[in-house]
Structure 1
Amino acid sequence: MPDLKEKVAIITGASSGIGRGTAVEFAQLGAHLALTGRNQENLQATAKVCVEAGTLQDKILLVTGDICDEQLQKNLVEQTVQKFGRVDVLVNNAGTLKYGTIETIDMAYFHQSMDVNVRSVVILTQLCIPHLTKTKGAIVNVSSVCGTRAFPGVLAYNMSKSALDQFTRCVALELAPKQIRVNSVNPGVIATEIHKRSGMSEQKYVKYLEHSKTTHALGRVGDVSEVAKTIAFLASSDASFITGAQVPIDGGRHAMCPR
């Protein structure tokens, strides 16, 4: 198992989905957690599950708010260092998804997508670099198969994740002299609430999950824990010679060319 005992990890978007699953995985591995999300109730629920998984309550910091708020970003990093004295891992997980083509996309959402999925990552990474330099830490960005492959109907999301992947590669090279490793995970369809939050009805979501069995080579959608375990691996010393990578967690979807 990856060794994250007493490592200090900042995880964004930790109130649900992959972010919550990652927080729980890190808790089981003994990490100290700085968690952020917009929904205070859900974030507290994540903290409760983390305590049940093995982390002490006083080893969890919760910072509630919008990840695009630059003051929140500064507070998150400053409070993490104040409480724990260091930062070892940054997991940029917070993200937003809505449907829209080039003909139907709402430009307000286009800007929001870039702000949440890209701009917030850039700023938070900048803030963490001085601290990660001291610990020779790791950054894991949560991207998507949509960053590496083209899919119609989710233009802003696809573009933002592609930008995130390029950010990962460029920053991995820039920070390599500091021995800070930077990688991304690129999930396929994972069973979370993100699609329903994007406007998909329960009925359509059920059909979507069933259809997704045919778009992933392994014949099923993924589970949050499968992504969380890969994030934990990349954040740990087990991945000490991996940087600048995009790791697909998609049941083979990235390799498929349907005929």
Structure 2
Amino acid sequence: MSLINKVVLVTGASSGIGAAIGLKFAEAGANVAIVGRKEDKLKKVSENIAKVGNKPLVIAADVTKDNDAQRIVNDTVKQFGKLHVLVNNAGIASNVDITSENAMKVYDNIMATNLRSVVYLTHLASKHLIETKGNIVNISSVFGQVPTNKDFAYCASKAGLNHFSRAIALDFAPKGVRVNTISPGPVKTDIIENLGFSSEKAAAIFNIWKQATPLKRISDPVEIAELALFLASDKAVGITGSTYLADNGFSLGGR
């Protein structure tokens, strides 16, 4: 699938799924802007992308800050002159339940990152996407459909993201812009270690998740990147308002 000369903006691109998406789109010929908070990690991702495609635009920013969100969109359009694809991937999780003293602080932080930032970036990018008749790919989670314990805020944010995506798909459709969502199940990233767990504990949790999937496997980030590439390409020209599960059967239950 070719995206030659297309301009793609990817948030949360300093590692994991976002980094894989940036790399995959660059391989397909796109000009990519990668966004993240950690400049050292972004530099590494940028170097990897430059080996397979055009050198990316690197934007160190916090998507929860309105000024940064404005800079993300403005810098991308300034650099490349247009925008064809917005991939909202930035997200955080928690290890807090509703009875915790800091429940609301965690909730506000997660909603700001996982949902509000997506809404605002979409608003800012909308006029550019309408001009190119582009599309949006939002990265959600299986936990937007199947709840998990000690992560009520994450589950709520991803459920909200799913429905937001369907709602704006209706708004954008008359303007020729498509909106779709990918809901991964367990994917081998650094998300668990980012919650403060040791690498050994993270490995144990991933093994539990692996055993909970009917296919008995954990996805690699590149699998999600390939699905994002398909949805952003002309091969998916008739697809909008859809949520694609890529969870190795996790949502089927049967555990």
2:84–2:134: 8 Å Cα contact kept in structure 1?
Answer: yes
Moved more, 78-87 or 132-141: 78-87
Where in structure 2 are the equivalents of 1:115-130 lying within 5 Å? 115-130=112-127
TM-score, normalised with respect to structure 1: 0.95
2:97–2:103: 8 Å Cα contact kept in structure 1?
Answer: no
DSSP 3-state at the match of 1:132? helix
| Structure 1 counterpart of 2:80 | 84
DSSP 3-state at the match of 1:194? coil
| Structure 2 counterpart of 1:26 | 25
Where in structure 2 are the equivalents of 1:27-176 lying within 5 Å? 27-55=26-54, 57=55, 60-104=56-100, 106-176=103-173
Percent identity over paired residues = 37
4+ residue runs over 6 A deviation:
none
DSSP 3-state at the match of 1:91? strand
Aligned-partner Cα distance in 2 for 1:106–1:218: 34
Name the amino acid aligned to 1:46.
V
Deviation at 1:65, TM superposition (A): 1.6
C-alpha RMSD of the superposition: 1.1
1:8–1:89: 8 Å Cα contact kept in structure 2?
Answer: yes
DSSP 3-state at the match of 1:9? strand
Name the amino acid aligned to 1:66.
D
- Which one of the candidate residues 195, 198, 212 is aligned to 1:198? 195
Please give the per-residue CA displacement for 1:24-46, whole angstroms capped at 9, x wherever unaligned: 10111110011110011111111
TM-score, normalised with respect to structure 2: 0.97
| Structure 2 counterpart of 1:230 | 227
Aligned-partner Cα distance in 1 for 2:63–2:197: 24
Please give the per-residue CA displacement for 1:198-221, whole angstroms capped at 9, x wherever unaligned: 122222212112112221111111
Deviation at 1:72, TM superposition (A): 1.2
Aligned-partner Cα distance in 2 for 1:205–1:75: 34
DSSP 3-state at the match of 1:42? helix
- Residue-pair matches, total: 254
Please give the per-residue CA displacement for 1:77-124, whole angstroms capped at 9, x wherever unaligned: 111111111100000000011111111253211101000000000000
Moved more, 182-191 or 194-203: 194-203
2:76–2:83: 8 Å Cα contact kept in structure 1?
Answer: yes
DSSP 3-state at the match of 1:186? strand
Where in structure 2 are the equivalents of 1:176-215 lying within 5 Å? 176-215=173-212
Aligned-partner Cα distance in 2 for 1:232–1:122: 21
Extract unaligned runs of 5+ from structure 2.
none
1:99–1:155: 8 Å Cα contact kept in structure 2?
Answer: no
Name the amino acid aligned to 1:121.
V
DSSP 3-state at the match of 1:146? helix
Name the amino acid aligned to 1:7.
K
Name the amino acid aligned to 2:75.
Q
Aligned-partner Cα distance in 2 for 1:203–1:156: 25
2:23–2:48: 8 Å Cα contact kept in structure 1?
Answer: yes
DSSP 3-state at the match of 1:200? coil
Aligned-partner Cα distance in 1 for 2:200–2:36: 28
1:133–1:178: 8 Å Cα contact kept in structure 2?
Answer: yes
Name the amino acid aligned to 2:154.
Y
